[in-house]
C-alpha cells in the first residue's frame, strides 16, 4: 500500500535530463527556433514589387511580410506613402490609387504605396516601431485620416463593443484602450509576436501558404500534402482582388447623412498615436509630409461638417506649428466619394493633380 518515494520513477519514457543537459538542450533548441529560423528567413525571403504595387488585402495582417516589403520598397521608390485604406485605394484598381496616379504624372515609378487597409494611427505606431525600420531616411508622405477621430469608439478612447482593425498591433497592456477586450492569452500572444520574429513567421506561413488556418487544421484538411513543399521564399504581395474600379458613389450606396461628434485633439487617443508615429519617423531621419485627409462633406450634417473642418484645420495648424510639413487635402465633389473618406478613381486623379502642383510648388519647380 505504501509507496516508497525513492521508487517513484520520474517518467516512463526516459525523457528526463539533468540540470546541465536540460539547460543545454533548451538553449540550443530555443536559439535554433526563435533565433536561427527567423534570421535565416529574413535574409532568404525575396519580395517582388510589381507595377502599381500596393500591399495585398488578404495579407494585410502579415506584418513580417510587410517588413520585407518595406525593405524592398525602400530600394525601388524615392518616396513612400503610409496610411490606411484611403491611400491603399479601397474602391479602385491597382492602377487607380493615389500613388499610381502620381507615378503616371511623374512618368516613372517614383511613389510607393505602403498603406494597409484599416491601419489606424494606434496600430500604425506599433507597425512603424516594429516592422518599418528600413524606412530610415526616406521621404515619406504620412496620411492622417480624420475619420479615426469621429467618435470615441473609433478613436479607441471610448468604452463599449467595437470591432477593432489590426488588434495584434494595439498596445496590449495599455488599459486606457477600454474598447479592446482581448483575453490575456491573445494579448500575450500579440506581445510575443512583436518580441520574437518566430511567431510573426508562423503567422506569415499560415496566411501565405496554409489558407489562414493553423498548422494542425491545415494538415487535417490536406492529409496527403507535405506542408514544407508549399513554403516559398519568393513572394509578390501585390493586391490581386480589385479588378475593376467601383463607380458607385456614397449616395447610390444608400449611406445616410451622418452627425458625428468628433473628438477634441487633446482627448483623442488616435491623435496621440499619430504624433508618436511622426516622432518615430522623425527620429529615424525621415523627411515627413503629413497629408490631412478630407472627409466627405456631402454626407454630414452642417454641425458635424463644421466641427470636422475645424478639426482638420486644427490638425494642420498644430503640425505646422511643430515644424511638420502638413498638406490639407481638398474636399472632393460628391460623386467622387465612395463613402465617408474613400475617393473613387476620379477622386484619386483629382487628389494626384492637387499634389503634383503642391509638390512642384514646394520643390520650386512652379
Residue ranges binding other proteins (CB under 8 A) = 1-3, 5, 8-19, 21-22, 24-26, 28-30, 32-34, 184-185, 188-189, 198-199, 202, 214-217, 219-220, 222-224, 227
Reading phi first (left if > 0) and then psi (alpha if -120 to 50, else beta), residue 222 is in beta
Asked whether 328 and 312 are in contact (CB, 8 A), the reply is yes
- Least CB distance from residue 214 to other proteins, whole Å? 7
The residue among 36 and 333 lying less far from other proteins, judged by its C-beta, is 36
d(CA 288, CA 139): 6
- Least CB distance from residue 215 to other proteins, whole Å? 6
Asked whether 277 and 169 are in contact (CB, 8 A), the reply is no
- Least CB distance from residue 26 to other proteins, whole Å? 7
Bridge partners of 46, per DSSP, are 234
The residue among 2 and 321 lying less far from other proteins, judged by its C-beta, is 2
The residue among 21 and 353 lying less far from other proteins, judged by its C-beta, is 21
SS3 of the chain: helix, strand, coil, percent, to 5: 50, 10, 40
The residue among 25 and 264 lying less far from other proteins, judged by its C-beta, is 25
d(CA 332, CA 100): 19
Asked whether 289 and 326 are in contact (CB, 8 A), the reply is yes
d(CA 65, CA 352): 28
Q: What is the largest CA-CA distance in the chain?
A: 97
- Least CB distance from residue 21 to other proteins, whole Å? 6
- 222-to-210, 219, 230, 279, 293 alpha-carbon distances in Å: 10, 5, 12, 47, 45
The residue among 8 and 365 lying less far from other proteins, judged by its C-beta, is 8
- Least CB distance from residue 228 to other proteins, whole Å? 10
Asked whether 214 and 221 are in contact (CB, 8 A), the reply is no
- Least CB distance from residue 211 to other proteins, whole Å? 14
d(CA 321, CA 315): 10
The residue among 216 and 321 lying less far from other proteins, judged by its C-beta, is 216
- Least CB distance from residue 260 to other proteins, whole Å? 37
- Least CB distance from residue 289 to other proteins, whole Å? 39
Torsions phi, psi for 163 (to 5 deg): -90, 125
The residue among 141 and 205 lying less far from other proteins, judged by its C-beta, is 205
The residue among 22 and 233 lying less far from other proteins, judged by its C-beta, is 22
Amino acid at each position: 500500500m505504501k509507496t516508497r518515494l525513492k521508487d517513484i520513477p520520474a517518467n516512463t519514457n526516459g525523457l528526463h535530463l539533468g540540470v546541465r543537459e536540460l539547460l543545454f538542450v533548451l538553449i540550443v533548441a530555443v536559439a535554433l527556433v526563435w533565433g536561427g529560423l527567423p534570421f535565416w528567413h529574413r535574409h532568404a525571403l525575396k519580395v517582388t514589387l510589381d507595377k502599381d504595387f500596393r500591399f495585398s488585402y488578404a495579407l494585410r495582417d502579415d506584418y513580417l511580410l510587410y517588413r520585407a516589403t518595406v525593405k524592398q520598397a525602400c530600394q525601388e521608390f524615392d518616396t513612400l506613402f503610409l496610411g490606411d485604406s484611403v491611400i491603399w485605394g479601397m474602391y479602385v484598381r491597382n492602377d487607380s490609387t493615389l500613388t499610381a496616379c502620381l507615378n503616371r504624372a511623374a512618368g516613372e515609378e517614383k511613389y510607393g504605396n505602403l498603406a494597409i487597409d484599416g491601419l489606424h494611427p494606434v496600430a500604425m505606431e506599433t507597425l512603424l516601431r516594429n516592422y518599418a525600420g528600413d524606412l530610415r531616411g526616406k521621404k515619406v508622405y504620412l496620411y492622417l485620416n480624420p475619420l479615426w477621430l469621429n467618435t470615441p469608439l473609433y478613436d479607441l478612447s471610448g468604452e463599449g463593443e467595437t470591432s477593432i482593425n489590426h488588434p495584434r498591433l494595439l498596445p496590449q497592456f495599455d488599459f486606457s484602450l477600454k474598447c479592446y477586450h482581448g483575453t490575456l492569452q491573445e494579448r500575450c500572444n500579440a506581445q510575443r509576436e512583436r518580441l520574437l520574429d518566430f511567431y510573426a513567421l508562423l503567422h506569415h506561413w499560415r496566411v501565405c501558404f496554409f489558407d489562414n488556418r493553423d498548422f494542425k487544421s491545415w494538415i487535417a484538411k490536406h492529409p496527403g500534402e507535405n506542408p514544407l513543399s508549399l513554403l516559398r521564399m519568393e513572394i509578390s504581395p501585390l493586391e490581386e482582388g480589385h479588378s475593376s474600379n467601383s463607380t458607385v458613389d456614397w449616395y447610390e450606396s444608400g449611406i445616410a447623412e451622418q452627425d458625428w461628434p468628433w473628438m477634441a485633439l487633446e482627448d483623442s487617443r488616435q491623435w496621440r498615436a499619430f504624433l508618436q508615429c511622426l516622432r518615430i519617423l522623425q527620429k529615424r531621419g525621415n523627411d515627413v509630409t503629413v497629408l490631412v485627409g478630407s472627409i466627405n462633406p456631402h454626407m454630414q450634417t452642417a454641425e458635424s461638417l463644421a466641427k470636422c473642418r475645424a478639426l482638420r484645420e486644427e490638425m494642420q495648424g498644430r503640425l505646422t506649428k511643430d515644424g511638420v510639413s502638413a498638406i490639407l487635402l481638398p474636399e472632393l465633389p460628391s460623386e467622387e466619394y465612395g463613402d465617408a473618406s474613400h475617393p473613387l478613381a476620379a477622386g484619386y486623379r483629382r487628389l494626384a493633380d492637387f499634389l503634383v502642383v503642391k509638390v512642384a510648388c514646394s520643390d520650386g519647380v512652379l
